[in-house]
Amino acid sequence: MTKSLVLYHSQEYGNTAAMAEAVAGGLREAGFEVDSFNTNDGRFDVRRFPQYDCVAFGSPDYYSYIAGGLKTFMDDHYIADVRDGLEGLRGKPYVLFYSHGGGGRVKEAMERIFRRIGTLTGEPLGCRGKPDKQVLQACEALGKQLAKSLP
């Protein structure tokens, strides 16, 4: 079974978590196995990362930047890749989603930082505040789009 990871940070209202759940739903509907992890619950072990065929990253906008938990993951990823030479960290298809309070400039930061991971599929999906039904459907569609991008 194809393995996917939904790695996100959600802390304030659960807005990003709701989006993550919908993206995971889309991946599951496409027949993918999904692991979800909220970096607010702890540090994601980068040594687990190579097993995944594709990834969805989600962050709230924190000062026009990604949340600290996800930044820590990307710091770990860089060091594991560049210093330790861990295989299987790069070359993955991925999608991006984000939650914001009216600014949303985290989008540009995400596009720049996650480039190391592999190939961005589709457009980053943003939502202001609590995601409504339409946004959740778009999140689900994003998960399906990610699944479809795999050979």
Of 13 and 29, CB closest to ligand FMN: 13
Provide φ and ψ at 146, rounded to 5°: -60, -45
To 5 degrees, how large is the angle CA 100–CA 102–CA 105?
65
Residue 87 C-beta: closest distance to ligand FMN, Å: 32
Of 50 and 101, CB closest to ligand FMN: 101
**95 class by beta-carbon count within 10 Å (0-12 exposed, 13-18 middle, 19+ buried):** buried
Residue nearest to ligand FMN (CB): 103
3 state SS for 126-142: EEECCCCHHHHHHHHHH
Residue 40 C-beta: closest distance to ligand FMN, Å: 8
Kindly list the residues in this chain that would bind ligand FMN in the complex (CB under 6 A).
10-17, 60-64, 99-104, 129
Residue 142 C-beta: closest distance to ligand FMN, Å: 16
Residue 27 C-beta: closest distance to ligand FMN, Å: 19
Q: What distance in Å separates the CA atoms of residue 147 and residue 151, rounded to the nearest whole number?
A: 9
Of 89 and 106, CB closest to ligand FMN: 106
